[in-house]
Amino acid sequence: MIKRIHGIVSRFMLFVREKLSARQFFILSSIIVGLSSGLAAIVLKYFVHSIERLVHYYSHNYAEFFLFTLFPIIGIGLAVFYVQKVLKVEFKKGTSEIVYAITKKSSVLPTSQMYTHLITSALTVGFGGSTGLESPMVTTGSAIGSNYGRTYRLSYKERTILLACGAAAGIAAAFNSPIAGVLFAIEVLLTDVSASAFIPLIISAACGALLSKIILSQGVILSFALTEPFNYHNVPWYIALGILAGLFSLYFAHSFEWVTDKMKGVKNIVIRVLLGGVLLMILMIVFPPLFGEGYETIKVLSQLKPAELAQNSIFQDSISSEYMLLLFLGGAALFKCIAAALTIGSGGNGGTFGPSLFMGAYLGFVFARLINLSGLAHIPETNFTLVAMAGLLSGVFYAPLTAIFLIAEITGGYELMIPLMIVSAISVTVAHYIEPLSMEAKKLSQKLRSPIEDRDKTLLSRLEIVDLIEKNFSVIQSHETLQDLVKAISTSSRNIFPVLTDNELVGLVYLDNVRNVIFKHDQYEKIWVRDLMSPLPATISPHDNFHSILKKFEETNQWSLPVVDNVTYLGFVSKSSILTKYREELLQSV
């Protein structure tokens, strides 16, 4: 039945494509992808909130909070069971995988990613896993855009834009923030943006936000109402908060990476799930706000009701003063990234977008409350809570524009634009100064085996060395004579001759170096190839990245270098073929 419906829809879309111009069909495609991705994000939100209501019902009616903290183990276990027993394929997470697909896989994402991230993240977060839903939404939307483009045989450029459209719509629907959705796609996913990409991105994000506005209730979407205007006298405190946010962003990144690596080191999946679940349970017994996304607790902070967050903690009775409460909230902030790492590292699904907002809100509130308690100044705690969210998001993702406009949109205006810009800019500057790459950028750099700091390097990373190997070189063995070399020269159009011992490359013969002997017929049987060959200037491995390859060309002043896998000769790569392929990629991206 599903295949039949899919066939009818495909035929209808092909009919529509014939009636429209290429540009008109592409705009229609951006609308469809935007609506589909937005709807997927909304379904995920409702799925998670339905599970959370069920969990809260049973916990409040039939169990103490201690038992309530066992639910994350159930969610992670169900997610792992689904991946291991139902999906049965390698499960990849994070925006680095999306950018890798754009760079190395022609913007093609597996069809299964259109639904697997929805299911696993819903189970993980719905049952209390301490992560966010935004990364699964982005991956789902990207997969929808990618597979739509592949189904209707769109070009690589169009498929890439639709992939980004799906991600933009997912973020827009999650927060009812279309501008943030567009900026996220540009800052995090797309390495370079042409003018032709903006209109489809805007349309898709608007469609996702519109669906969110129509379907999702205010209680589901993260939103705030400002109670105090911006006061320029507080700028020094915002500067201090920006520096602090940058340092906390680095702590977030390093702690998250360290814990996830340790968890992945536990090879037995059952032990890993149980270990992660038990550690999560311990953290949640101490810090109940770590349960789930934590967005509701951010709203509590913005309403200046922090004491409510300590309820159900085993240390609840010990929190008898403002300073003890701030110590508790600071602990919750510091352990949020640990809880998120345990959730993801033990097999659950989710992202760091939500945890970074959580940590930022708690940091901002604690900072503002400490300043007020000290008597140094009286600053608006709600404003600092919201602005610090942008600071952490900016410092963790290196996406300041996304952070600025996300908080501006969810607060319903641009009253905080100046402090948002100050804190986000300082935070990302501090983080970038100490750590040049964000968490996801480091993962991508490791996968590409090359740096990704700028557009040129990213374009080079798209190239595959095996596609550029030239094999029309006449090979000669080291034990052969000058006569054999002359025969090879007479049938070759090349002026370089690889010399092998068996299949191992041991040297090169350059035509320019043997011109003075090839006409000495009396020497044909007396001179051996091994006596004529030159040492290898450098060799290229098929696993080398293009930055190191170009460096070898520069250092050796050669235009062609041999490719060797271990010691086995494969062929040659020329500098001109690399530059030609680079120009093709450059034209494709414009």
Cβ(533)–Cβ(509) below 8 Å: yes
Q: Please give the Cα distance from 109 to 227 (Å, whole number).
A: 44
Q: What tokens appear for 586 in the block?
A: 């450059």
List, in sequence order, every residue forming a beta bridge with 572; answer none if it has no partner.
470, 562
Residue 83 three-state SS: helix
Whole-number Å distance between alpha carbons of 376 and 369? 11
Instruction: Read off the amino acid at residue 583.
Output: R
How far, in Å, CA of 160 to CA of 412, rounded? 31
Q: 435 — phi, psi (to 5°)?
A: -130, 100
Residue 539 per-residue DSSP state: -
Specify the pairing of strand 504-510 against strand 560-565: unpaired
Where are the CATH 1.10.3080.10 domain residues in the chain? 2-215, 232-449
Q: Which CATH class is domain 2-215?
A: mainly alpha
- Tell me the pairing of strands 504-510 and 476-477: unpaired
Q: Which two tokens stand for residue 115?
A: 């639904």
Cβ atoms of residues 249 and 427 within 8 Å: yes
Every domain of the chain with CATH number 3.10.580.10 lies at: 463-589
Q: Which residues contact 285 (CB under 8 A, 6 or more apart)?
A: 65, 66, 69, 313, 314
Reading the block at residue 414, the tokens are 């641009």
Q: Sheet containing 568-574: which strands, arranged edge to edge?
A: 476-477, 496-501, 504-510, 568-574, 560-565
Nearest-angstrom CA–CA distance, 161 and 27: 11
User: What is the CATH architecture assignment of 463-589?
Assistant: Roll (3.10)
CA distance 128 to 114: 23
> Look-up: residue for tokens 């093609």?
108
**Residue 110 contacts residue 94 (beta carbons within 8 Å):** no
CB atoms under 10 Å from CB of 17, counted, come to: 18
- Rounded-to-integer distance, Cα 304 and Cα 311, Å: 15
Q: What is the pTM of this model?
A: 0.78
Helices 381-397 and 235-264: crossing angle in degrees, nearest 10, is 50
Alpha helices by DSSP H, 114-234: 116-126, 134-151, 156-175, 178-184, 195-215
Residues forming a β-bridge with 500:
477, 505
- Strands 476-477 and 560-565, bridge-based pairing: unpaired
| pLDDT at site 106 | 75
| CA atoms of 199 and 197, how far apart (whole Å) | 6
How would you write the pLDDT of the chain (590 residues) with one tens digit per residue? Answer: 556 666 676 777 777 777 778 788 888 889 999 999 989 888 888 888 888 777 766 655 444 555 667 788 888 888 888 888 887 777 777 777 888 787 777 778 888 888 888 888 888 888 888 888 888 898 999 899 998 888 888 888 888 889 989 999 999 988 888 898 898 888 888 766 666 678 899 999 999 988 888 887 655 566 677 777 888 888 999 999 999 999 999 999 999 999 999 988 888 888 999 998 899 988 988 888 888 888 888 888 888 888 888 887 888 878 888 889 999 999 999 999 999 999 998 888 888 888 999 999 999 999 999 999 988 889 998 899 999 999 999 999 888 999 999 888 888 767 888 999 999 999 999 999 998 888 877 777 776 665 555 444 555 555 667 778 888 888 888 888 888 888 888 888 788 889 888 778 888 888 877 877 877 777 777 788 888 888 888 888 887 777 778 788 888 888 888 888 887 888 888 877 777 766 665 545 54
Q: H-helix or E-strand containing 66?
A: helix 65-68
Which secondary structure element, helix H or strand E, spans residue 3, and what is its range? helix 2-19
Question: What's the DSSP call for residue 185?
Answer: I
CATH number of 232-449: 1.10.3080.10
In angstroms, the CA 43 to CA 41 distance is 5
Q: Smallest Cα–Cα separation from 424: which of 459, 458, 389, 377?
A: 389
Q: 89 phi and psi, to 5 degrees?
A: -135, 165
Q: Which residue from 357, 351, 350, 451 is spatially nearest to 395, judged by alpha carbons?
A: 357
d(CA 351, CA 395): 15
* Residue-wise burial string across 404-436, b where 16 or more C-beta atoms lie within 10 A, e elsewhere: bbbbbbbbeeeebeebbbbbbbbbbbbbbeebe
Non-local (6+) Cβ contacts of 37 within 8 A are 137, 140, 141, 144, 145, 165, 166, 167, 169, 170, 173, 204, 208
Two tokens at 450? Answer: 């090359």
414-427 pLDDT tens trace: 788 899 999 999 99
H or E segment to which residue 457 belongs: helix 455-461
Q: Tokens for 547, please give them.
A: 């930055």
How many residues are present in the chain?
A: 590
Q: Which two tokens stand for residue 539?
A: 């060799």
Partners of 565 in beta bridges: 568
Maximum C-alpha span of the chain: 104
Beta-sheet pairing, 560-565 with 568-574: antiparallel
